[in-house]
Amino acid sequence: MSLDLRYPALSDLKTACKGRVPWFVWEYLDSATGTESVKTRNRAALDSILFAPGMLKGPVTPDLTTRLLGQEHALPVGVAPVGMSGMIWPGAEAALARHADTARIPYTLSTVATRLPEEIGPIAGDMGWFQLYPPKDPGIRADLLARARKAGFHTLVLTVDVPGPSRRERQLRAQLAIPPKTTPSMLWQVARRPTWALGTLRHGQPRLRLMEEYLKLDGNAPSTAHAGYLLRAAPDWGYLRELRALWDGPLIIKGVLRPADALQLRQEGADAIWVSNHGGRQFDGAPAAIHCLPAIRAALGPEYPILFDSGVESGLDVLRACALGADFVLLGRGWHYALGALGQRGPSHLLHILREDMIANMVQMGIARPVQARNCLIDPPEM
């Protein structure tokens, strides 16, 4: 049976993923923080964005190609950074990077990935972005940036919505520590998921390889608290200025929700901002990210690049974000649901779903470009 018949939507991939990864992995991937109200808000807010389709437009040929930061992409969709990606599905980082290169969409490697920039950069080709959790130690920071650059990552993403760890209660209940510490209950969960278990045996136990290297450099025992001290500063505007001076390629700031911050970031030399509430994983009091978009677009004007993520589950959601001011839309969990469901075939099937859904909805609206979805908005906000 074709993948389209078995998994026509992201929700089908999500259900299948849940049955193929151990429970503690599922809780890591799917959870948010607190009561998870942000996840609910993201979904409700996206669903509340409605369009009045145009009519009698004749044939429409949707064109999804999108230029961002000087590069051509097949569609305005990309892969957001996900830490410990290789724990969620064995070989995830390489699979996503390979798919991104082939499909011509960006792939963002997290600082806390299970693979090194040197391994993944060449696989991502010219589609690689590197996400930075800002190291406190200036020596480590300089080294990390140089390594990312040398490995082929031309665009840097600084995440600013993680000033400290969040309490992910579902992860605590699942007894998940990063890096993972094996408990008897986890072994039982793994035994019940043989494909994941065999894949993990083949790829080796998931570890924070990059962090481990710096901890060894420092000559100290690799405790998570120590790793946090060395590798995660709570950055301020001064830190951003230093980073801007150090990185000569495009710099994107991820985790922005306020127009005033967006304006200041542009002034400080950021090349793009990424509107996000981290998929609800950091702060349960945050607004739906999509609600923050229009005011940020209005503040920055029509030309400045804005990226968006948090709660996107379909091609229609991509169009909703484009209608409210995003130039580019990213997914975090979605790619991993796809990997969990279908292994290596997952990412291309998810991209197929998103592309077909975008096209079907653009034809319905009578628009040829995603940005034109704005013209069909019911109650368009000031932008």
Ligand X SMILES: Cc1cc2nc3c(=O)[nH]c(=O)nc-3n(C[C@H](O)[C@H](O)[C@H](O)COP(=O)(O)O)c2cc1C
Interface with ligand X includes 331 (CB under 6 A)?
yes
Residue nearest to ligand X (CB): 332
Burial of 372 (0-12, 13-18, 19+ CB in 10 A): middle
Please tell me the distance from the alpha carbon of residue 30 to that of residue 171, in angstroms, as a whole number. 10
How far apart (Å, rounded) are the C-alpha atoms in residues 147 and 153? Answer: 9
Any contact of residue 254 with ligand X (CB under 6 A)?
yes
* Residues whose CB falls within 8 Å of the CB of residue 236, separated by 6 or more in sequence, listed in order: none
Catalytic residue among 278, 291, 336, 349: 278
Which residue of 91, 334, 347, 370 would you call a contact of ligand X, by CB under 6 A? 334
| Nearer of residues 28 and 214 to ligand X, judged by Cβ | 28
Rule CB under 6 A: say whether 81 interacts with ligand X: yes
**Residues 167, 169, 173, CA angle at the centre, nearest 5°?**
135
Among 309, 317, 327, 357, binds ligand X (CB under 6 A): 309
Q: Two tokens at 292? A: 């923050």
Instruction: Tell me how many residues contact ligand X (CB under 6 A).
Output: 23
Active site residue 278: yes
* Residues 129-158 within binding reach of ligand X (CB under 6 A): 131
Q: Is 168 in the site for ligand X (CB under 6 A)?
A: no
- Residue 151 or 253 having the CB closest to ligand X: 253
Residue 168: CB minimum distance to ligand X, A: 9
Minimum distance from residue 15 beta carbon to ligand X (Å): 16
CB of 41 vs ligand X, minimal distance in Å: 12
For residue 333, give both structure tokens: 């969990």
For 255, left (φ over 0), alpha (ψ -120 to 50), or beta? Answer: left
The answer to the question of residue 29 lying near ligand X (CB under 6 A) is yes
- Is 347 near ligand X (CB under 6 A)? no
Per-residue contact track with ligand X, 274 to 303, x per CB under 6 A?
Answer: --x-xx-x----------------------
By the rule CB under 6 A, 80 interacts with ligand X: yes
**169 to 188: interface string for ligand X, x by CB under 6 A:** --------------------
Which residue, 63 or 236, is less far from ligand X as judged by CB?
236
Residues 323/331, Cβ–Cβ less than 8 Å? no
| Min separation Cβ 254 and ligand X, Å | 5
* Choice from 112, 227, 265, 383 touching ligand X (CB under 6 A): 112
Q: Does 166 bind ligand X (CB under 6 A)?
A: no
d(CA 183, CA 245): 45
Count of all residues that appear for the chain in the document = 383
Q: Which residues of the chain form contacts with ligand X (CB under 6 A)?
A: 28-29, 80-83, 110, 112, 131, 159, 254, 276, 278-279, 281, 309-312, 331-334
Question: Which residues does the annotation mark as catalytic?
Answer: 278
